[in-house]
Amino acid sequence: ALPKKVKIVEVGPRDGLQNEKETISADVKIELVNRLSSAGFANIEAASFVSPKWVPQMATSAEVMERITRRAGAIYSALTPNMKGLEGALAAKADEVVIFGSASEAFSQKNINCSIEESIARFVDVAKAAKDHGLRLRGSISCSFGCPYQGDVPLDAVADVVGRMRDLGCDEIDIADTIGVATPRKTQAVMERAASVFRLDGISGHFHDTYGQALANIYASLEVGVSIFHSSVAGLGGCPYAKGATGNVATEDVLYMMNGLGIETGIDLDIVVDAGQYISGILNRKGSSRAGNAIAAK
Ligand code: HMG
Ligand code: MG
């Protein structure tokens, strides 16, 4: 049987916007987060304390975190690649911090400028400081299904990083398809392998929709018991260090599917559709959520 309830982590304000070429004002980001908060998300990834030279769009993260209206009980997350990032997240009162590594050696170098081994060593202090301050800790594993630089990524490589993230004390671990290459059976194999190393109820699926497989992969993940998924309003996004990768699976599409399956999300789809139309209007293009555009056209 499929899970009765899932947690949807809205990553649009971070993963969705980080790759936009034009600078988006803090006011717009704040308005977007506030709209998403009022839709009922229990978890919104709102900030990224990374080097502004690497990802200029996220340079306003402190201001965004300071000025958003926080919904009681909701978790506002921030990416923290190192201690400098963690200090930023602490000052910004993030509820959860995200250490992000990779199952692919080549991608680790391109994205965070170090080897997998070095990244884990760097995360030790970040994880400890996060725990000492009572923050929730999440570990994200890029290229768990394939890498833009090295191609195939073995299951053992994913399992190895899942184990390391577990040992660092992560409360939740994201199995990420950075470039959207996974297909459903492969998804199940990777998820089952991850679940042999870490609690199944702490594993999340982070799917990009580059090859149009994301919803199918989410359904396949549900079949093996995964109950946390990441998505991005209006299908925003792409990673600056994964050329050609498109956005995350669109939140509206995921919610439409969950509603149809009778799986509880606690999120108001209509408010998310409006938020998607809002940010698409600002970006001056049509959003890529099929369900979002269909509902908005009614
Ligand atoms: P580095 O150049 O090796 O680090 O970058 P460094 O320690 O030598 O620092 C270089 C400069 O950056 C210094 O400044 C530091 O102060 C500054 P300078 O002295 O030259 O003026 N710096 C920072 N500034 C602000 N905040 C910080 C910070 N750290 C250093 N935290 C580093 C290493 C990790 C910093 C860099 O590679 C980086 O910022 N990478 C981030 C890349 C990124 O954000 N990628 C996108 C997010 S991951 C993603 O999207 C995937 C995900 O969605 C899952 C999936 O789909 O796969 C999560
Ligand atoms: Mg991503």
| Mean confidence (pLDDT) of the chain | 97
Q: Quick check: 283 pLDDT over 80? A: yes
pTM for this model (two decimals) = 0.97
Number of H helices, E strands in the chain: 11, 8
Instruction: Answer with the residue of higher pLDDT: 240 or 136.
Output: 136
Å from CA of 252 to ligand 1 middle: 30
pLDDT at res. 77: 98
Closest residue by Cα to atom 20, ligand 1, is: 53
Instruction: Answer with the residue of higher pLDDT: 285 or 32.
Output: 32
Å from CA of 283 to ligand 1 middle: 25
pLDDT at res. 296: 97
- Between the CA atoms of 208, 278, 94 and 138, what dihedral angle is there, to the nearest 10 degrees? -10
Query: Residues near 136 by Cβ (< 8 Å), separated by ≥ 6?
Result: 75, 77, 95, 96, 97, 130, 171, 172
Q: Where on the phi/psi map is residue 247: left (φ > 0), alpha (ψ -120 to 50), or beta?
A: beta
Q: Quick check: 138 pLDDT over 90? A: yes
> Which whole number is the average pLDDT over 114-129?
98
pLDDT at res. 240: 66
Å from CA of 287 to ligand 1 middle: 28
Tens-place pLDDT, residues 224-278 = 999 999 999 999 986 667 777 789 999 999 999 999 999 999 999 999 999 999 9
Q: What percent of the chain has pLDDT over 70?
A: 99
Tens-place pLDDT, residues 174-229 = 999 999 999 999 999 999 999 999 999 999 999 999 999 999 999 999 999 999 99
To test the ligand 1 pocket, which listed residue (51, 54, 115, 217) has its Cβ within 8 A of the most ligand atoms? 51
ipTM: 0.98
Q: Quick check: 128 pLDDT over 90? A: yes
Give the atom of ligand 1 at the shortest distance from the alpha carbon of 144. Answer: 57
For residue 211 and ligand 1, the question of a CB distance below 6 A is answered with: no
Output DSSP code: residue 201: G
Q: Quick check: 104 pLDDT over 70? A: yes
Q: What percent of the chain has pLDDT over 90?
A: 96
> Which whole number is the average pLDDT over 9-32?
96
